[in-house]
Amino acid sequence: MLLEDLRGKAVLLTGGAQGIGAATVQAFQRQGAITYFCDRDLRAGRKLAQQLGGDVHFTRVDLTREAEIRSWILQVRRQARRLDVLVNNAARDPRIELEKTTSHEWDALFATNLRACFLTCREAARAMGRGGSIINLASITFHAGPDRMSAYVATKGGVLGLTRSLARELGPRRIRVNTVSPGWVMTERQLREFVTPAVKRHIRRSQCVPDLIQPEEIADAILFLASDASRAITGQELLVDRGWYHS
């Protein structure tokens, strides 16, 4: 897929060192975009940036710290002068039973998954002009409501609500805001920690199309929402789950 209008655009992406984030950084590079990504994993972030080279820039950022977010985006604004695309990808998805979820764990998860999303949107929107695109990542778990993930699902519900409201608020400035909600994606971490042969069978039974979802496929959906091909789309949730949730 080649989207000529992404060439030379300045892209800001959170959580880009691994998984969906790394696949998306690579996808934007192939389109000729100038990509600035952050992550807490210094080693993985530097390794990816060195591998890709060119117009891919990495900064270590703790997204639970407002000052670090502001400093990072200010630094990018000085280099790029204008931001065209923001992708809020960074998130954690712990499995914790309700009775074992402490208020500290709840607050920490909201700080990473939702508060950081709000802060990056606020700071990046200041440097966006006409045609800007913000893409927030949620999850089909918001629709499926699995057990032991109540805190995580609540954060993703917040992401969807933030997207809908920001689309209305930023629309007069010609900035679009949308959500991508992935299904169960075969990232290295998911395969290492959660995806057993039994889980794979469950996924294949649940999806309309049984093929397992790869990170690159989520990246393609993000590229679409970042490009002019989706210029009439805002305030929407794009389910990229092979039909897991379709009713």
In the sheet that 83-88 helps form, which strands lie side by side, from edge to edge?
56-60, 34-39, 10-14, 83-88, 128-137, 176-182, 237-240
Phi and psi torsions of 211, nearest 5°: -60, 140
Q: Would you say 155 and 109 are in contact if contact means Cβ atoms under 8 Å apart?
A: yes
Catalytic residue (choose from 72, 152, 224, 244): 152
Question: Cα separation of 156 and 164, whole Å?
Answer: 13
Q: Which helix or strand (DSSP H or E) is residue 23 part of?
A: helix 19-30
Q: How far is CA 157 from CA 69, 92, 94, 146, 188, in A?
A: 22, 14, 16, 13, 25
Note if 152 is an active site residue: yes
- Which of the residues are catalytic? 152
